[in-house]
Structure 1
Amino acid sequence: MNKTIFDTAQQAVEKIAQEFKMYSEQAQPVHISLSGGSTPKLLFKTLAQSPYNTEINWKNLHFWWGDERMVEPTDPESNYGEVQALLFDHIDIPAENIHRVLGEKEVQGELIRFEQEITDCVPNQEFDWVILGMGIDGHTASLFPNQTDFDDERLATIAEHPETKQLRISKTAQLIEKAKRITYLVTGQSKAVIINQIFANDPKAQSYPAARIKASNGNTEWYLDKEASELL
């Protein structure tokens, strides 16, 4: 697995921000799947500032989410709401480029609608870039250990948080693996043990969706800060 270790989380998100600019200069629309969590907050704040807020051709970028909680977009737990407040409210991006899961809707109906939107908008259902985080239990998106069907051929699935029982809609492992590029953005000392297990091919890591989900025909890479990689 390819990994790049940065001194700080800020350096990691700066690298991703620079790549957003490169993607935005392509001739065709680019479909990017975002992640929730603490490190992406840093990314969104960085993108909302100069020079990225004005130099990126936002009209060429289409944004999706790896997962979303079934809550109102104004709820503090909404992944979309977080990006709206930290980034979208500060840049010039067409509304039609934002493809959110409607967390306020009934979950079964929204699952069907979301899958149809992916089918209609994303060529061959192959995302150009999927940015993922990783929880301290090894989950990614809302694909949790011992709950994930890695053979699910649907585009999205209804997931339940193992502790809170909160409902979410998540991209499936198979859809994520169709992406042209997958980047795991993982920072912080709390992730160091699991990162070490993944890169050491520890048998325990086979239960972690983040260890198993990789691009089938594209590139998979890990962007780590020093704290997350300290045991490597």
Structure 2
Amino acid sequence: MNNMIFDSTQLLLDKLAQDFLRLSQNDKQSDISLSGGTTPILLFTFLAESDYAQSINWQKLHFWWGDERCVPVSSPESNFGQCKKLLFDKINIPAENIHPIHGESDPQQEALRYEQEIRSHIDSVHEIPQFDWIILGVGEDGHTASLFPGETDFNDTHLTLVATQPQSGQLRVSISAGLIENSKRVTYLALGHNKADIIYKIEREVAGSERYPAAKISSKKGLTEWYLDPGSAKWLIE
């Protein structure tokens, strides 16, 4: 693991915001895939309520999602709905720069539609669209996006897939391991003490092991890094 352990959660959030700012200053547009779940809530809130809301050139950034629960956007479980409420509704970003997965649609049809949208908007390298930056979370079971332990086909040639959350049976639409691995940059975010155990396990996992998808999936074209706060890195620094 290429770990960046920050002295505080706030310093981690500020580094992420600086990364957004730098990308927004490029001449060309940048395509960023966001993670869902609880981890990004602090990031979205910080971006919306800090000076970065005005200093970032949002016109240059296009946003996508690593996965989405198959629920309406009005649901509190909607990854896009959460981001829209906390960030997009509060900044000046063109509607065409936002590319949500439609959780209310038929999952199989939506996976196909999203794959087509990705292909039509993002330039390909070796026939696979290449994101500039994919931000991922990690579950306490080691899953990332909706790629779950024991249920992930790491050789799937599709860009998107329909997954089932093992405990709840909830359907989700997710990007594939292959699409993530083609990204220029992959950043895993882990915040809080409840992520300390899985971070410790991933740190000690044998390279290439498929036990934890978050341990196996990394960029094959560029940088893979882990942004950790004091809570999630607890067992690495004690």
**TM-score, with structure 1 as normaliser:** 0.97
Amino acid at match of 1:162: P
How many equivalent residue pairs? Answer: 232
Counterpart mapping for 1:32-71 below 5 A: 32-71=32-71
**CA deviations over 1:198-221 (Å, ceiling 9, x no partner):** 112358x64110000000111000
Paired position in structure 2 for 1:199 = 203
Paired position in structure 2 for 1:226 = 230
Paired position in structure 2 for 1:111 = 111
Runs of 5+ unmatched residues, structure 1: none
Amino acid at match of 1:103: G
1:140 aligns with 2:149: no
User: Could you tell me whether the CA contact under 8 Å between 1:33 and 1:129 is conserved in 2?
Assistant: yes
Counterpart mapping for 1:15-26 below 5 A: 15-26=15-26
1:189 aligns with 2:179: no
Q: Which moved more, 1:106-115 or 1:143-152?
A: 106-115
Q: Measure, in 2, the Cα distance between the counterparts of 1:142 and 1:206.
A: 15
User: Could you tell me whether the CA contact under 8 Å between 1:130 and 1:181 is conserved in 2?
Assistant: yes
**TM-score, with structure 2 as normaliser:** 0.94
1:153 aligns with 2:157: yes
User: Could you tell me whether the CA contact under 8 Å between 1:21 and 1:55 is conserved in 2?
Assistant: yes
Q: Measure, in 2, the Cα distance between the counterparts of 1:137 and 1:86.
A: 27
User: Could you tell me whether the CA contact under 8 Å between 2:74 and 2:81 is conserved in 1?
Assistant: yes
1:166 aligns with 2:170: yes
Where 1:48 maps in the other structure, the secondary structure is: helix
**CA deviations over 1:151-183 (Å, ceiling 9, x no partner):** 001000000000111100000000011000000
Paired position in structure 1 for 2:90 = 90
Alignment RMSD: 1.4
Q: CA deviation at 1:8?
A: 2.1
Q: Measure, in 2, the Cα distance between the counterparts of 1:78 and 1:147.
A: 22
Paired position in structure 2 for 1:176 = 180
Paired position in structure 2 for 1:11 = 11
Where 1:38 maps in the other structure, the secondary structure is: coil
Q: Measure, in 1, the Cα distance between the counterparts of 2:46 and 2:30.
A: 20
Percent identity over the alignment is 52
Amino acid at match of 2:203: F
User: Could you tell me whether the CA contact under 8 Å between 2:33 and 2:134 is conserved in 1?
Assistant: yes
Q: Which moved more, 1:9-18 or 1:152-161?
A: 9-18
**CA deviations over 1:67-104 (Å, ceiling 9, x no partner):** 00111111110000000000000000000000001111
Amino acid at match of 1:49: E
1:209 aligns with 2:213: yes
Runs of 5+ unmatched residues, structure 2: none
Q: Measure, in 2, the Cα distance between the counterparts of 1:179 and 1:221.
A: 12
Q: Measure, in 2, the Cα distance between the counterparts of 1:161 and 1:84.
A: 23
Amino acid at match of 1:199: E
Where 2:235 maps in the other structure, the secondary structure is: coil
